[in-house]
Amino acid sequence: MSPGRSTEHGKVWLVGAGPGAADLLTLRASRALAAADLVLYDALVDEAALGLAPRAAKFSVGKRAGRASVAQDTIHALLVRAARAGKRVVRLKCGDPFVLGRGGEEALALAEAGVAVEVVPGVSSAIAGPGAAGIPVTLRGVSSGVLVLTAVPEDACLKVLTAQDPSVVTCVLLMALGGRARIAAHLLERGFRTDVPAAVVLGATTARAWSWIGTLGELGGVTLPPDRDDLPGLVVLGDVVAAAAPIRAALGVEPAFTLGYHDLAEVHLGSA
């Protein structure tokens, strides 16, 4: 059903806003926003994206660590109530609705309430964040896969991470900035190399983007810029961080990887 058509009982669109920049929204997301009566949006959604919904009432229901936020059950109730009142509702979520964004919980709540729902996928920051910083999450001959984890709850994250080989799999950690020192210490205690390449990416795809490149041994002590503590961020672990140095140089992304790690940048990519 087109977002432009009204429905007797209303409908909810779970829309992915992408990793940051508003021009990374999909055309389908733009159409849903243009037709919306109500937009409930995450805290980190770009203001320009909200401008795509000129006729809608807009309310922030986002969650930020350590700050007061709207309870998830309350968000479910708001979505159901508005849809039952015949509203076209967009739940605008950062990244992709179904990638560590509680979109699955919201879809289940809407389905249980008998409310029509449509998912509009978005560009996930787990992939686009490293990519915007010049780090491909997979690279033939270096990384054969990518593991995406949330660091909350931390115990579950650490259990999975400990079983990985960073020379084979790229690990992307969301919501890990606050716990980066504990995560690094845990992995080093369990035998991870201190020189495992690591990266921190803040505000990917936005004008305020910032990145750091180093090693697992240094990750816990990295200082984040105090003027950007409002930005979302992620941590990347794996040999592909070092191998991507020429890509970062070509894109003009600083800093380059210059910490003496063995020269993965010359990896032979022609083999099967």
Q: What are the tens digits of pLDDT across the range 52-86?
A: 999 999 999 987 665 668 999 999 999 999 999 99
What's residue 252's pLDDT? 86
Entry pTM: 0.86
Are 188 and 252 in a shared domain?
Answer: yes
Joined together, the tokens standing for residue 156 give: 């579950």
13, β-bridge pairs: 90, 118
* Residues 83-97, mean pLDDT to the nearest whole number: 97
* Residues 224-236, mean pLDDT to the nearest whole number: 92
- Mean pLDDT, the chain, as a whole number? 89
Q: How many angstroms separate the CA atoms of 89 and 13, rounded?
A: 6
Q: How far is CA 56 from CA 115, 151, 214, in A?
A: 20, 34, 44
What's residue 94's pLDDT? 94
Per-residue pLDDT for 3 more than 60?
A: no
* Residues 176-194, mean pLDDT to the nearest whole number: 95
Q: Which residues are catalytic?
A: 42, 63, 175
Q: How many angstroms separate the CA atoms of 258 and 254, rounded?
A: 11
DSSP assignment letter at 15: E
What is the domain range of residue 65? 11-123
What's residue 120's pLDDT? 98
Residue 253's pLDDT band (boundaries 50, 70, 90)? confident
What's residue 187's pLDDT? 96
Are 94 and 107 in a shared domain?
Answer: yes
Q: What is the CATH number of the domain that holds 46?
A: 3.40.1010.10
What's residue 173's pLDDT? 97
- Ranking 25-34, 65-74, 236-245 by mean pLDDT, the lowest is 65-74
174, β-bridge pairs: 150, 234
- Within a domain: 236: yes
- Within a domain: 4: no
DSSP track, 202-270: ESTTSTT-EEEEEEHHHHTTPPPPGGGTTS-EEEEESTHHHHTHHHHHHHT-S----S----GGG----
Are 118 and 132 in a shared domain?
Answer: no
Q: What angle in degrees, to the nearest 10, is found between the helix axes of 72-84 and 103-112?
A: 50
N residues, the chain = 272
Beta strands in 17-100 (DSSP E): 38-41, 57-60, 88-93
